[in-house]
Copies of this chain bind each other. A is one copy, B any other.
Amino acid sequence: MTRFGTTILLLACLSIAACQTPEDATRDVPQPVDPLPSWRDTASRQRILEFVKQVSTRTSGAYVEARDRIAVVDNDGTLWCEKPTYIQFDFIISLLRQQAERDASLATVQPYKAAREGDHAYFAALDHKGLFELLTTAQSGMTHEQFDRDVRAFTSGWSHPKYRKRCTQLTYQPMLELLALLRSNGFRIYIVTGGSTEFVRTISEETYKVDRANVVGTTQATRYELQGERVVLMRETALVGPVNDGPGKPVNLWQRIGRRPLVAIGNSDGDLEMMRMAHEPSRQSLAILVHHDDAEREYAYDKGAEKVLAAARKNDWVVIDMKREWTRVFSFDSR
Residues of A at under 8 Å CB distance from B?
1-2, 4-5, 8-9, 11-12, 15-16, 18-19, 67, 144, 188, 197-198, 201, 205, 211-213, 215, 219, 221-224, 226, 229-231, 233, 240-241, 247-248, 250-251, 254-260, 273, 276-277, 279-281, 315
Complex contact A258–B197 (CB within 8 A):
yes
Minimum CB–CB distance from A139 to chain B (whole Å) comes to 14
Complex contact B222–A254 (CB within 8 A):
yes
Task: Choose among B19, B219, B276, B280 the residue that contacts A226 (Cβ–Cβ < 8 A).
Answer: B276
Minimum CB–CB distance from A268 to chain B (whole Å) comes to 17
Task: Choose among B5, B18, B144, B229 the residue that contacts A279 (Cβ–Cβ < 8 A).
Answer: B229
Q: Which residues of B contact A280 (CB under 8 A)?
A: 230
Distance of A210 Cα from B18 Cα, bound (Å): 37
Q: Which residues of B contact A11 (CB under 8 A)?
A: 12
Q: Which residues of B contact A241 (CB under 8 A)?
A: 221, 240-241
Complex contact B255–A222 (CB within 8 A):
yes
Complex contact B8–A258 (CB within 8 A):
no
Complex contact B15–A258 (CB within 8 A):
no
Minimum CB–CB distance from A244 to chain B (whole Å) comes to 12
Distance of A213 Cα from B224 Cα, bound (Å): 23
Complex contact B4–A201 (CB within 8 A):
no
Closest to A11 in B: B12
Q: Which residues of B contact A188 (CB under 8 A)?
A: 213
Q: Which residues of B contact A260 (CB under 8 A)?
A: 231
Q: Which residues of B contact A250 (CB under 8 A)?
A: 224, 231, 233
Complex contact B212–A257 (CB within 8 A):
yes
Complex contact B231–A277 (CB within 8 A):
yes
Q: A16-B15, A229-B315, A250-B224 are in contact. Are A259 and B213 (CB under 8 A)?
A: yes
Minimum CB–CB distance from A135 to chain B (whole Å) comes to 17
Q: Which residues of B contact A230 (CB under 8 A)?
A: 276, 279-281
Q: A2-B5, A67-B205, A257-B213 are in contact. Are A231 and B279 (CB under 8 A)?
A: yes
Q: Which residues of B contact A224 (CB under 8 A)?
A: 247-248, 250-251, 273
Minimum CB–CB distance from A208 to chain B (whole Å) comes to 14
10 further interface pairs, Cβ-Cβ under 8 Å (given A215-B258, A240-B241): A2-B4, A15-B19, A67-B205, A67-B212, A213-B256, A221-B241, A224-B251, A229-B315, A230-B279, A230-B280
